[in-house]
Amino acid sequence: MKRYVIALDEGTTSVRAGVYDVEKGIFIHRAQQEVGQSYPKSGWVEQDANEIYYKVMYVLNDCVQSVGAGNVAGIGIANQRETVVCWNRETGEPVCPAIVWQCRRTGKFCASISAEMRKKIKDKTGLLPDAYFSASKIKWNLENIPEAKKLQEEGRLCVGTVESFIIFRLTGRFLTDYTNASRTMLFDIRKMQWDQELCTFFGIPLDILPEPVPSDARFGTTRFGGKEIPVAGVLGDQQAALFGQVCHREGEGKITYGTGLFMLFHTGEKCIFSDSGLLTTVGYTLNGKTYYALEGSAFNAGSAVQWLRDGLGIIKSSEESEEFACSVSDTGGVSFVPAFTGLGAPHWNSEARGLLTGISRGTTRAHIIRAVLESIAFSARDLADCMIRDSGICLREIKCDGGASANSFLMQFQADVLGIAVNRPKERESTLLGVALLSAASLGILAPEDLADKRISEKIFVPSLERKKYEELYANYLLAIKRALLNE
């Protein structure tokens, strides 16, 4: 039996791929290529879809060659979500730059959407209308790129998120998976189909969109080294991380500590809508069942550590923050609010700015560094509280990943402040692992009951029994948040 699956992670700044040995449960080879971005106007972010595709081919070729095409059972794809590509159905050539998820060019339009329509959008898609999601980006292309409009009128335009472009170029099929579709703001996440009313509202004809299929479907075949290789298993990157962290049961959640912080919370087969401004999203589909997740993010996490390093210059490397934080027993009364670019759920204030309070003559840089790390854990607590409250589901355990999850002080403090164990895996590239596992399950080379064994814990951070102490610390942080909100 072919035992290798190639997992692709098409991220915003880099494209990575790994060869996963299903029997051994490890990646035996990896490849990576950086991808450029351009910023043609203030707030605009674009990418060249051809560059993405060439780099995807480069890393896939590298991985296929490392084991030989004949030994590859299939390819799974995870990708940056929401980013929109328009291409010619006949040639596969992009007709304009890809509009990246971060791009704010449609912000004004999204802000003008009526309250009634906003409610409809939330009820159908689980999303809060924003320029972040794909719908308004597609509308922008149809209104501003004459070539796109012309091709659309001639029935020769394809529009989709990045995975659908990659699948099209690899296999010739025009498909997307449910998790990516659920980030477009055009997809009914209960009926699992494009919503006609929303498409009409955004001026998007249904025939330019890909066919949505379950994440664990077969997406066609591609050729490498003269061999046909199936493409099987496709997920948005955050959902892939949820899957790779084996959060496969209701109440299991993962937090990615990168530049920002992303939390996804598995709510089982229930599609739960949040009152706190969290998003409802399709987690994944497996064997005919769809599982949902609540999603929340904090804009700043690792970026606050970068600020200590590059802005204040009080640490030389991000890693050093751990040593300083551990050198003091507390923050000496210092509180930090990492609101560099406003505050997300549940505070939702784009005007709030960062705050450092409680400084005395005895305050040292170690106190400030510790306060910054603690603030990251507190913002995750904010999100976790909303998820538990909105869903009525207990949070069993948190699985962590991302650059800052390497910081053991932060992970221990996170467990303490949540009162829940934080479980750090050996394989930190959860996105790659997630899509490798889904692909292997889809190809039938990994039984669903064996999936959980493929995630190996490196360390479990057990919460302290001193609940009162940590609740008081969290209450202090909430006071600092109140002050940050007054600053606006």
Q: Which stretch binds ligand ADP (CB under 6 A): 37-45, 99-107, 318-326, 448-456?
A: 318-326
443-446 long-range contacts, CB within 8 A, separation 24+: 443/5, 443/73, 443/74, 443/230, 443/232, 443/233, 445/1, 445/2, 445/3, 445/5, 445/22, 445/73, 446/22
Residues contacting ligand ADP: total by CB under 6 A: 15
Our finding on whether 319 is near ligand ADP (CB under 6 A) is: yes
Closest CB to ligand ADP among 73 and 162?
162
HEC letters along 349-386:
ECCCCCEEECCCCCCCHHHHHHHHHHHHHHHHHHHHHH
Closest CB to ligand ADP among 175 and 383?
383
8 A C-beta contact, residue 242 and residue 434: yes
Site string for ligand ADP, 233-262 (x = CB under 6 A): -------------------------xx---
Q: Which stretch binds ligand ADP (CB under 6 A): 154-162, 389-397, 398-406, 477-485?
A: 398-406
Which DSSP string do the residues of 164-182 spell out, in sequence order?
HHHHHHHHS--EEEHHHHT
Instruction: Quote the least distance from Cβ 405 to ligand ADP, whole Å.
Output: 8
- Comparing CA positions, the residue from 391, 440, 186, 442 lying closest to residue 269 is 391
Q: Shortest Cβ contact with ligand ADP: which residue? A: 403
Site string for ligand ADP, 273-312 (x = CB under 6 A): -----------------------------xx-xx------
Instruction: Quote the least distance from Cβ 121 to ligand ADP, whole Å.
Output: 27
Closest CB to ligand ADP among 258 and 333?
258
8 A C-beta contact, residue 33 and residue 14: yes
Q: How far apart are CA 333 and CA 359, in angstroms?
A: 7
Instruction: Give me the residue label for tokens 């998007």.
Output: 204
Closest CB to ligand ADP among 220 and 403?
403
Instruction: Quote the least distance from Cβ 302 to ligand ADP, whole Å.
Output: 2
Task: Mention every residue, 6+ apart, whose C-beta is less than 8 A from residue 268.
Answer: 249, 250, 291, 292, 393
8 A C-beta contact, residue 261 and residue 379: yes
Q: Which stretch binds ligand ADP (CB under 6 A): 15-23, 61-69, 225-233, 313-321?
A: 313-321
Instruction: Quote the least distance from Cβ 129 to ligand ADP, whole Å.
Output: 25
Our finding on whether 407 is near ligand ADP (CB under 6 A) is: yes
Given candidates 217, 406, 478, 485, which one binds ligand ADP under the rule CB under 6 A? 406
What separation, in Å, do the N-terminal and C-terminal C-alpha atoms of the chain show?
61
Q: How far apart are CA 388 and CA 377, in angstroms?
A: 16
Our finding on whether 425 is near ligand ADP (CB under 6 A) is: no
8 A C-beta contact, residue 306 and residue 260: no
Enumerate binding residues for ligand ADP (CB under 6 A): 258-259, 302-303, 305-306, 318-319, 321-322, 402-404, 406-407
